[in-house]
Amino acid sequence: MKWKAIYALFFAVAVVISTLVFPLWSLLTLLILLVKRKLIVIVELIALAVSFVSLYFLSHLGIYTYVMRAFVYIDLFLALSEYIDKVSVLSITGERGVPIVVTLSYIPFFYNVARDVFFYRNSRRRRFNLEELSRPILVEMVRVAENLYKAYVVKLYGNFNRNFELSPGKGDMLPIILGVVLICLPFLIHTFPVN
Q: What is the pLDDT of residues 100-113, one digit of tens each?
A: 887 787 777 777 78
Residue 193 lies in a domain: no
Percent of residues in the chain assigned helix, strand, coil, to nearest 5: 75, 0, 20
Q: What percent of the chain has pLDDT over 90?
A: 24
Report pLDDT for 46: 95
Residue 194 lies in a domain: no
Of residues 149 and 96, the one with the higher pLDDT is: 96
Residue 195 lies in a domain: no
Residue 67 lies in a domain: yes
Report pLDDT for 154: 58
From 186, 183, 180, select the one nearest 7 (Cα to Cα).
180
Q: What is the pTM of this model?
A: 0.76
Residue 119 lies in a domain: yes
Which structural domain, as residue segments, surrounds residue 179? 5-188
Q: How many structural domains does the chain have? A: 1
* pLDDT, mean over the chain: 82
Q: At what angle do helices 86-93 and 5-21 cross, to 10 degrees?
A: 100
Report pLDDT for 162: 62
Q: Residue 152: pLDDT band by 50, 70, 90 thresholds?
A: low
